[in-house]
Structure 1
């Protein structure tokens, strides 16, 4: 009987393989159907030719790239451990699946316009299923790669563990507060600055404001509230994986608007949406992830959304533009501008 670890590995690999191959086949079939509809004949030679080419492409990249890389990662664990900051599986999905899928999504409308010379036969709205399938499969692979380091059975962190963790943090704050007061009494003339605690990496006393602590987080030890307060990091992986790419999903959805895909604006929308997906190649805790999120997503989306609103109207939500602007400004201000003297004065609010 196969071990549970082997069953988990096989299930994960089959799901990743399906997420890697299915989107390309669906998008190519949609392109083949759109091309066949422009021929005006009952002969489906071109349709089956395109479908067979998509099957050949998926089979080739699977056998020549996907399977060898997977085998190499599992057989040569020392090579896999030397990879830092990026994920080979996500790179293969983004480059070999998402890029062709986005390209042929654009080609579906361009073929009809080029052959017929008119946009009158184009549908009022592009079907949402193909694009949603591409992004869902990409996020699914991201979730699987994150879940590999967690067990699927048993509780990851109980409520008692959470209570102990919160209590420990409160104790650290109390000790830090006392140390901060002692240093303030001993060295009143010392200039304002941060004092690093040797026993707490990364902790400083210069920015600690004990009088401005917010409301304490509640803990429930019994009853219905205890049951409702359960949380697990494995379930949060699913939540944050979808929330992280909600902005890109909304941007790709805008491409289905008739004013966008019937014009040249479909190109920048898809191009910058794909560029924003390049962050998925990085590991979840990569230090460059925040800055690349600004450079690859929020900053380009500001110009795309602003241009769409000016030219085509409010076909993209104003809330999305506000999100991109506020995230970009807050990142630049708190990470760079606060280092200058004019912004370095410590201030608090009540």
Structure 2
């Protein structure tokens, strides 16, 4: 058992370190290649100098920051328990890897743009691999950090909630049935007294919202298809969570964007949206931070891109950002006002 835990720990640490170091090396190598093309001399002194600096940077931050923090987190468990609401590993990846990678991605286009002072020398399309690699490595580290508390072997009983929900739905009568039963069999004085005593003074009785009952399968192929495992859902939601940022970064590869000054706000606000990964998955502030750091800034960026350059970014993405922002403000803040405080449910 101990050996399996050690193997799991070693594999996770190697994957995290690879995701921490590889993006910087790849992006800086791309910058070195672009810078070498601007030189009239064919010698590769500048190229190897830039590449060696990137290797030295990765080695330096690994020895001075990455390894000490890792050792401190594993050896000082009491210190790790005091860290509430944020993840040090994700902060190191965002600050030490993602930020330099985005900066050098901008520098690649700027170096090529400065040739003869024109942007016409830029290629028709920028390579997608370096930028995708940066976000992929960040998502991999996020998945590993979420997956640490779960075993990799054995089945995870994650479909018990559906069974509990179905059992409770069978035991609890609907509002219509309760009203009908109260009309047919009126409760006695003692029952009425108990009902009034159980209700807090001054509390308002709201109708119970009705919703379609969810199916629950106990056998056959449908039961196999309805199984859910939280470990598999970690992979799914980790990628879906960053789909908006991924699409925004891909917009930076459009010729109309990276050949203009729109490259800067796209990368800047994409990096700002990445800052959410520093916080823990169950942090109560995560929803508001998602709106403030991603949806609200993306509204202005996408709207500006559509007005200035056309529909190079999907209108669906703009609608998503607008609806998420409006729904968050309305349901969390406006519904507390007197005008919107009336509780109501659908008839069906």
TM-score, normalised by the number of residues in structure 2: 0.90
Q: Give yes or no for contact 1:98–1:134 (8 Å, CA) kept in 2.
A: yes
Deviation string 1:143-164 (CA, Å, 9 cap, x unpaired) is 00000010111011165x3454
**Correspondence 1:1-350 to 2 at 5 A:** 3-157=3-157, 159=159, 161-167=160-166, 169-170=168-169, 174=173, 186=196, 193=203, 206-209=205-208, 212-350=209-347
- 1:217 and 1:143 map into 2 onto residues whose CA distance is 29
- 1:69 and 1:144 map into 2 onto residues whose CA distance is 17
Q: CA RMSD in A?
A: 2.5
- 2:203 and 2:64 map into 1 onto residues whose CA distance is 57
The 10-residue stretch of structure 1 (119-128 or 80-89) with the greater mean CA deviation from structure 2: 119-128
- 2:239 and 2:194 map into 1 onto residues whose CA distance is 46
Q: Give yes or no for contact 2:115–2:121 (8 Å, CA) kept in 1.
A: no
- 1:191 and 1:248 map into 2 onto residues whose CA distance is 48
- 1:183 and 1:330 map into 2 onto residues whose CA distance is 41
- 2:219 and 2:58 map into 1 onto residues whose CA distance is 53
Q: Give yes or no for contact 2:128–2:253 (8 Å, CA) kept in 1.
A: yes
- 2:193 and 2:308 map into 1 onto residues whose CA distance is 59
Deviation string 1:101-129 (CA, Å, 9 cap, x unpaired) is 00000000101112331112211111110
- 1:246 and 1:11 map into 2 onto residues whose CA distance is 27
Instruction: Report the secondary structure of 2:302's partner residue.
Output: helix
Q: Give yes or no for contact 1:33–1:47 (8 Å, CA) kept in 2.
A: yes
Larger Cα-atom Rg: 2
Instruction: Report the secondary structure of 2:339's partner residue.
Output: helix
The 10-residue stretch of structure 1 (235-244 or 224-233) with the greater mean CA deviation from structure 2: 224-233
Q: CA deviation at 1:347?
A: 1.8
- 2:163 and 2:314 map into 1 onto residues whose CA distance is 43
Any unmatched runs of 5+ in structure 2? Answer: 183-191
Distance of aligned partners of 1:158 and 1:233 in 2 relative to their CA distance in 1, 3 Å threshold: closer
TM-score, normalised by the number of residues in structure 1: 0.90
Instruction: Report the secondary structure of 1:273's partner residue.
Output: helix
Q: Give yes or no for contact 1:309–1:315 (8 Å, CA) kept in 2.
A: yes
- How many residue pairs match? The answer is 334
Instruction: Report the secondary structure of 1:331's partner residue.
Output: helix
Distance of aligned partners of 1:336 and 1:191 in 2 relative to their CA distance in 1, 3 Å threshold: farther
Q: Give yes or no for contact 1:294–1:328 (8 Å, CA) kept in 2.
A: yes
- 2:75 and 2:234 map into 1 onto residues whose CA distance is 27
- 2:262 and 2:333 map into 1 onto residues whose CA distance is 34
Distance of aligned partners of 1:49 and 1:207 in 2 relative to their CA distance in 1, 3 Å threshold: farther
Distance of aligned partners of 1:67 and 1:224 in 2 relative to their CA distance in 1, 3 Å threshold: same
